[in-house]
Amino acid sequence: MNRSLLLGACLSAIFLLGALLSFVWTPADVGAMDIPNRLKSPDFHHLLGTDHFGRDLLSMIMVGARTSIAVAVVAVGIGMGAGVPLGLAAAAHSGGMIDEFISRGNDLIFAFPSLVIAILITASFGAGAINAIIAIGIFNIPVFARLTRGAALSLWQREFILAARVAGKSTTRISAEHILPNIANLLIVQGTIQFSLGILAEAGLSYVGLGAQPPTPSWGRMLADAQTMVALAPHVAIVPGLAIVSMVLGLNLLGDGLRDRLDPKLRVMRT
Amino acid sequence: MGMLVYLTRRLISLFLSLVVASMVIFLVVEVAPGDPASYMLGINAQPDTIAALRTELGLDQPKLQRYFSWVTGMMTGDFGTSYTYRAPVAQMIADRMWISLPLALMALTLSALIAFPAGLLAASKRGKAGDVSVMAATQLGVAIPNFWFAMLLVLLFAIKLRWVSAGGFAGWDNPMAAIKSLTLPAIALALPQAAILTRVLRSALIDTLSEDFMRTARAKGLTRGQTLWRHGLRNALIPVLTILGLQFSFLLAGAIIIEQVFYLPGLGRLIFQSITQRDLIVVESVVMLLVFAVIVVNFLTDLAYALVDPRLRSRA
């Protein structure tokens, strides 16, 4: 087993388990304020210290992981759910009107500065986790559509697809039964990368106040709250940031490791 | 001839992108809940006062008509009048542009200055310690959110070392002070981008190094360094240019968030202020301007690599 896969899987698993555990148990109540103990540095009682309301940072990180993971997972789901069928359709009708329409649409969305539009969407329709998911998800669609189209196009040239056509299968059936299983690995790897980008995007949006709203804890807003406190208690700014970095790093390493393991020949553009 | 056809096709798609972009932005802002007139007058306003203000602001006109007057206005440099400040939007944007644009350009320059030596080092020492450490650093670089990195920079350089102020902008009357207040934000913006650029440059260089013409260049007596410099870099420049073009969009967008960290009165702060005040015309215009800048930069990037690589003209 390669090292980046192992390290990535471990880091990702820690956050996933922490998030799941937070449904049944956290070291302290995330809603409970304890003003006398505010801005405490990490110690035995509060392993990661407390924030300006005396809330336990470890508990907030655990519950915040839920928000980050939920937003990123659904956003990737939107991207895959819409992008993969579009990519398959474009490849199946390569060179035709459908292909042209889908490909130009992709180019167009790619040309948009995603964060600016995400800000526009969340600002117009109201800040909140749902709108953040939609805003991030929309920009995942062309990523998966492009990837699927490219990979599917080369598969359509292969003999086993020709055999399936000769056997009388429709393009839709071929896409679903033969193309899709063969590009699944590629999609899983890209999914991991988009997942990590989703975590970063959610953190950015909630940092500027457009993501999940209080009282739902989120890593980005923890950083925003910490900003004025950074001189007094640096740990309130360092802890949530480290959580974001470790989670994103873990997912990226996992993606790299999976790519090498699933198919050494695959090279996914990471931008 | 090839170049002319290429240019025409690209110009048409540039135009279409801008039209669609303007429609999307207009629609998103227009269908958004919240009436600017009632917001401005507060909850105790009389319905007829609100109606009068709506007429004054032109909000009672049909949507299609408002869309066209917005677009045609922008083409002549008239971005409308801010609802809250009662000032021309064009002027408000121009004032703040002097912070956001230099910031994005400083960050772009910085990221190129870091990425080129790092990418060259990693590619030429492939698999060795230099390469491994550069790649590990980039892995970390892409995982760090720039606004958090910005906070760490403030903590270290402004709070602990007291070399610079933690935020705010001194104005361009004193250029040195202005550049000083943009330095930390530019570093924060540049570092994650430099990580991406380094990775792209490294892999592009490695691809180029395995080409036949590189062996030919070595065979005709050029040193390793000369081949890398004269033939490798130029050929690796195409993917690098694409990323640089895309990065401009990330930097502009990133600047919006970074401006919040450093309390810089740039376009980002203007957007957030206008959003909270439901000053729709300002939001629409700033976002459109950013999208315009990004689309045009991508167009220019495409042109640039048609110039760098003549093969791309015929393929397009």
From the list B186, B188, B203, B193, the residue with the least C-alpha distance to B119 is B203
Q: Å from A271 to nearest chain B CA?
A: 7
Report how far residue B261's alpha carbon sits from residue B255's, in angstroms, rounded to the nearest whole number. Answer: 10
Q: In the 8-state DSSP scheme, what is residue A93?
A: T
Based on the structure, what is the number of domains in chain B?
A: 1
Residue of B nearest to A118 (CA): B253
Give this complex's ipTM: 0.87
Instruction: Examine residue B215 and state whether it is found in any structural domain, yes or no.
Output: yes
Distance from A123 to chain B by nearest Cα, in Å? 6
In the three-class reduction of DSSP (H, G, I as helix; E, B as strand; rest coil), residue A227 is classed as helix
Residues of B in contact with A204 (CB under 8 A): 145, 147, 257
In a domain, B308, yes or no: no
Q: What is the mean pLDDT of chain A?
A: 87
Could you say which of A121, A203, A270 has the minimum Cβ distance to residue B145? A203
Q: How far is CA B89 from CA A16, A85, B74, B244, in A?
A: 46, 42, 10, 30
Query: Per residue in A51-105, pLDDT tens?
Result: 878 788 899 999 999 999 999 999 999 999 999 999 999 999 988 888 888 888 8
- Identify all chain B residues contacting A203, using CB atoms and an 8 Å cutoff: 145, 148
The pLDDT, as a whole number, for residue B316 is 41
Contacts of B271 in chain A (CB under 8 A): 119, 123
If you measure CA to CA, which chain A residue comes closest to B197? A271
Q: Residue A43 carries which side chain, given as an amino acid letter?
A: D
Least CB–CB distance from A230: residue in B140, B151, B256: B151
Cβ pair B287:A231 closer than 8 A? no
Instruction: Report in angstroms the alpha-carbon separations of A197 from A203, A216, B137.
Output: 10, 21, 18
For B293, other C-beta atoms within 10 Å of its C-beta total: 17
Q: How many residues belong to chain B?
A: 316
Tokens, residue B245: 């073009």
The residues, any chain, with a CB within 8 Å of residue A232's CB and separated by 6 or more, are A39
Low-confidence ranges of chain A (pLDDT < 70): 1, 263-271
| Burial degree of A77 (CB within 10 A; 0-12, 13-18, 19+) | middle
Q: What is the pLDDT of residues A15-24, one digit of tens each?
A: 999 999 999 9
Could you tell me if residue B184 is inside a domain? yes
Min CA distance, B283 vs chain A (Å)? 8
Q: Is B243 inside a domain boundary? A: yes
Answer for the pair A64, A218: CB distance below 8 angstroms, yes or no.
yes
Backbone conformation region of residue B309, classed left if phi is above 0, alpha if psi is from -120 to 50, else beta: beta
∠ CA A10-A14-A16, nearest 5°, is 115
B185 assigned to some structural domain: yes
> Does any domain span residue B107?
yes
pLDDT in tens, B175-216: 888 888 899 999 999 998 999 999 888 888 888 877 788 888
Angle between helices A235-262 and A3-24 (to 10 degrees): 130
Is the pLDDT at B123 greater than 60, yes or no? yes
Looking up residue B196, the CATH number of its domain turns out to be 1.10.3720.10
Contact check, Cβ <8 Å, A208/B33: no
- For B144, the domain range is 96-276
Residue B43 inside a domain? The answer is no
**Mean per-residue pLDDT over chain B, rounded:** 83
Least confident of A191-195, B158-162, B169-173: B169-173
Q: Name residues whose C-beta falls within 8 Å of residue B278's C-beta, 6 or more positions apart in sequence.
A: B34, B35, B36, B39, B40, B83
What is the interface size between A and B, counted as CB pairs within 8 Å?
A: 123
CB B168 within 8 A of CB A239: no
Q: What is the pLDDT of residues A228-241, one digit of tens each?
A: 888 888 888 999 99
**Separation CA B151–CA A218 (nearest Å):** 17
pLDDT above 70: residue B276: yes
Query: What's this model's pTM, rounded to 2 decimal places?
Result: 0.87
8 Å CB contact of A116 and B152: no
pLDDT at A51: 81
In a domain, B156, yes or no: yes
